[in-house]
Structure 1
């Protein structure tokens, strides 16, 4: 029984390491998003870090429009990044977890 417990603890540690490695990898996954008319483009990582914002010159003439574009486009990009982040981290965690009876319903 003690050996089983040690084996499970090692599997949990491996799962934690996989999750951490996945978090690091997600920092390098780039997501490009743009406004519907292409006047504003943003690039963020799957770790939700903004890497680039590109604004068409005509948007610089209307502060309110630019602010609206930024909010909408950044929110779309962040939502995509969040989906990728959650999916990848869940897969990494589940892949490394030991087989514990009854746990399947929770993962």
Structure 2
């Protein structure tokens, strides 16, 4: 019984480290979001850090249109980043969780 508990604790600690490693790795996963007409391109990391914003010169002439493009494409990029981040972290966390009835939090 004690051996099982120690093994479970070791596995939980290992899983916690894998989750932390995955979270760090998410800073290297790049997500590009380009507007359908190609006038703006945004790159973010999976941990939701903006890396680049490329804006076509023609958008610089219309402040309101530029603001709309930025909001729309930043939200798309950040939503995709969140989905990837959550999926990756949950997958690693659920791999290492012991099979305890009623504890399917990560599925």
- TM-score normalised by length of structure 1: 0.93
Give the unaligned 5+ runs of structure 2.
none
Matches within 5 A, 1:18-97: 18-97=18-97
Aligned length: 106
Say what the alpha-carbon RMSD is for the aligned residues.
1.2
Distance 2:25 2:10 in 1: 22
Q: TM-score, normalised by structure 2?
A: 0.93
SS at match of 2:31: strand
2: CA distance, partners of 1:99 / 1:105:
8
Determine the C-alpha separation between the residues in 1 that align with 2:35 and 2:62: 15
Q: Write the distance in 1 (CA, Å) between the matches of 2:40 and 2:87.
A: 27
Q: What are the superposed Cα offsets for residues 60-107 of structure 1, whole Å, 9 maximum, x if unpaired?
A: 11111100000000000011111101110000001112233x046433
Q: Which runs of 5+ in 1 are unaligned?
A: none
Listed one character per residue, the Cα deviations across residues 8-40 of structure 1 (whole Å, up to 9, x for unaligned) are 111111111010010111110000001121101
* Structure 1 moving runs of 4+ over 2 Å: 103-107
